[in-house]
Amino acid sequence: MDGYFGIALALIASTLRVSTPLLFASLGGLVSERSGVVNIALEGMMLVGAFGAAVVALSSGSPWLGAAAGAAAGLVFAVFYALIVIQLRADQIVAGTAMNMLAAGATPFLSKILYDSTGSTPGLPIDARFQFAPVVLAWAFVLLVWLWIAYTPSGMWLRFAGEKPEALEAAGVRVNRVRWTSVMLSGALAGIGGASLSIFLASSFSRNMTAGRGFMALAALIFGKWKPFPTAVACLLFGFADALQIRLQGVILWGTEPVPVQFIQILPYLATILVLAGLVGRSRAPRALGLPFRKP
């Protein structure tokens, strides 16, 4: 296990684990945004999912039921979002921000009601947590979402809802119905992403445990040009930068003093900026992204 091979293996395992919540969330973002609905509420959807998953995994002892509950919680939360931005045509950025605040406030509140503890839910025993399954599941979902969008009629509706909603409506498909479905699906995916945080990478829900991952997922989505596989690769890259950063802290690269921790810790973000600015080329958003659809 020792030597470079062991280090490389540990690094790969770490990358896969760290990128799992990002993968789910960015797929969620992809489904919503390709249908024309900006989704900066991903962070909140993840948080709600993480909470729901922790509660159900704790009471049932099954991580699978927990993950399902995480998806359900994210979905229910997304229904509110869809109602506000699709039905009532609110500004999607502002509404998304409000949803994130709502999630950050509602989860400790519910936790207080259930467990009389605002900080975190009680710890999950080891057999109520996932060991490796979410990593595989995440990649299965990448494949599924890609197949769906590229090869099925409903996948095509999704793309048209985001590119040329008028054309889709003219063809007899209700644009807003497509968007409703995608936003709900988006919530479910982000919810599983949150679940993979609370019942896979950690052992309980703790307040604000998403720690900005919803926004990282959005960045990965833009970076991946709103396409499933490039987005997944972007998530991997973020995960890799994070895993590498963990192992570079305190390493002496030159001289006698290690590189300051703060410098090492900005590397993932620095890498993101450099890659976004230089290597990706133009990343074009769906044409109707952020525009509420009104029947002509």
Partner 1 sequence: MILRRLGWIGASCSLVFALAAPSCFAAGLKVALVLDKGGKDDKSFNSAAFRGVTQAKEELGISLKYVEATDDNAFESLLRAFAQKKFDLIIAVGVSQADAVKKVAPKFPEQKFAIVDAEVDLPNVRSLIFEEHEGSFLVGAIAGLTSKTGTIGFIGGMDIPLIRRFEMGYVAGAKQVNPKIKLKSNFIGITGDAWHNPAKAKELAIAQYSGGADVIFAAAGASNGGLFDAAEELKKLAIGVDSNQNWIKPGYILTSMLKRVDTAVYDVCKDTQSGKFSSGIKRFGLASTGVDYAVDEFNEKLLPPAVREKVEKLKADIIAGKIKVPDYYQKKK
Residues within window 126-155 making contact with partner 1, judged by CB under 8 A: 126
* 23 touching partner 1, by CB under 8 A: no
Q: Which residues pair with 206 in a beta bridge?
A: 120
Which of residues 167, 266, 270, 274 is near partner 1 by CB under 8 A? 266
How many CA atoms, within 13 angstroms, populate the side-chain half-sphere of residue 50?
35
d(CA 196, CA 213): 12
* Closest to 234 in 3D by CA, of 19, 8, 14: 19
Question: What token pair was written down for 267?
Answer: 């590397």
* 209 touching partner 1, by CB under 8 A: yes
Which of residues 30, 69, 197, 216 is near partner 1 by CB under 8 A? 197
* 107 touching partner 1, by CB under 8 A: no
Stretch that binds partner 1, among 60-68, 97-105, 148-156, 182-190 (CB under 8 A): 97-105
* 204 touching partner 1, by CB under 8 A: yes
d(CA 267, CA 29): 24
* 17 touching partner 1, by CB under 8 A: yes
Unique residue bearing structure tokens 């600015």: 277
* 253 touching partner 1, by CB under 8 A: no
* 166 touching partner 1, by CB under 8 A: no
d(CA 239, CA 281): 21
Which of residues 123, 140, 147, 167 is near partner 1 by CB under 8 A? 123
Amino acid (one-letter) located at 75 = L
**Comparison of 104 and 276: residue with beta carbon closer to partner 1:** 104
With beta carbons less than 8 A apart as the criterion, state whether 235 and 217 touch: yes
* 14 touching partner 1, by CB under 8 A: yes
**Comparison of 42 and 158: residue with beta carbon closer to partner 1:** 42
**Comparison of 187 and 239: residue with beta carbon closer to partner 1:** 239
Q: Which residues pair with 137 in a beta bridge?
A: none
Minimal distance, residue 158 CB to partner 1, in Å:
25
d(CA 167, CA 51): 40
With beta carbons less than 8 A apart as the criterion, state whether 23 and 235 touch: yes
Which of residues 265, 267, 271, 275 is near partner 1 by CB under 8 A? 265
* 8 touching partner 1, by CB under 8 A: no
**Comparison of 88 and 147: residue with beta carbon closer to partner 1:** 88
**Alpha carbon of 258 to those of 16, 227, 234, 286: distances in Å?**
27, 39, 29, 45
d(CA 114, CA 122): 10
| Residues within the interface to partner 1 (CB under 8 A) | 6, 10, 14, 17-18, 21, 84, 88, 90-91, 94-95, 97-98, 101-102, 104-105, 108, 117-120, 123, 126, 197, 201-204, 206-209, 211-212, 242-243, 246-247, 249-250, 260-262, 265-266
